[in-house]
Amino acid sequence: MTDPDRDIRTLLEDAVSDVEPRRGLDEITARTTSAPRRRPWAWGTTGAVVATAAIVAAVVAVTGLPGSGPARPGPAGGGTADTATSPWVVPVYYVGDTGAGPRLFREKHVGPPSRSDDKVLDAVQQSVDGDAFDPDYRSDWPAGTHVDAVRAGGGATTVALSGGSLSARPAGVSAAGARAALQQLVYTVRANLGDDRPVRFEVDGSRAATLLGVPTPGDVAAASRDTTLAPVSIDSPADRRSRDLGGLRSPVTVTGSASAFEATVQWELEQGGTVVKRGFATARECCTLSPYTFRFSAPPGDYTLVVHDEDPSGGEGTGTSSDSKQIRVTGGAEG
């Protein structure tokens, strides 16, 4: 892969870091057949140029760059007109460990041209598989769990699952982890459909009364953001450990969300186990999940970026929570 290809991918990652597609529910139809797994950036080199050009066009459409209008939805009924050659950009949720226990972290996944009626199902399947870019994130759903369909309609969105016994809690997964796993799918579905309807789970064609040891006699609604999402998370830049993203230009802009005491978010830049730079940012609001942003300059090299909150209780509370990303700086101002 050439350096320009890596640079383009890095730029696209930053461009879509805050984009969350919002599609009308009427455009989401029954997915009753199994779609082949798609993994972000899993393209052959022969189609790299065409795929990259298509993604650039998609990023312009969804980010509203000057001279571009809003993204136009495809036809109702899942047709492919105007969308058959458009890459998808979808939010996918995973579980990670925090000082407050297992919580959800979000990633934005960008893929090659895909039919519009595959996007939501594919996003939920990636969530189940634990197909995260950041190796600190995971899924506690049993291996082999398959998402057969995602059907939006009526008072709930139905997620149809199969792939073995899903009623019992998997070995090594806590009760809190099992509840987080259910919310992982609820949040992924909600983010991609753009509404607050609860999720109705089916397993092998029948209503699931229990999933992963969690009673599910009714529809499962999204739990509170402040008790479900990670207290601190990094949205951008993305972790480069599982992908060849190329490098970042200095100064690097960091964005994320935090629920921090006095809205103060701490950060450190580490290299070889040594902190080479540190600072703090202020989230928009105190003590509830809200966005933060900051910038730092660094000379070229590989770094670990760590963002965390503080424990005002002096160890008597839940402790601190953090998120980290492995990044590479390749040029720009050193500062």
| pLDDT 10s digits, 67-82 | 323 333 333 333 333 4
Give residues with Cβ within 8 angstroms of 170, minimum separation 6: 140, 141, 142, 178, 212
Percent of the chain exceeding pLDDT 70 equals 68
Lowest mean pLDDT among 11-20, 132-141, 171-180, 224-233: 11-20
Q: Are 212 and 168 in contact (CB under 8 A)?
A: yes
What's the rounded mean pLDDT across residues 275-297? 96
Phi, psi of 200 (to 5 degrees): -105, 120
Tell which wins on pLDDT, 74 or 290. Answer: 290
Are 186 and 230 a contacting pair, CB within 8 Å?
Answer: no
Please give the Cα distance from 28 to 252 (Å, whole number). Answer: 37
- Is the pLDDT confidence value at 244 over 90? no
CA pair distance 27, 223, nearest whole angstrom: 26
Ranges assigned E (strand) in 114-230: 146-153, 156-162, 199-203, 206-207, 210-211, 214-215
Q: Is the dihedral of CA 128, 133, 21, 283 positive or negative?
A: positive
Full set of structural domains in the chain with CATH:
3-228 (no CATH), 232-332 (2.60.40.10)
- What is the H or E stretch that residue 236 is in? strand 232-236
Nearest to 239 by CA among 287, 177, 302: 302
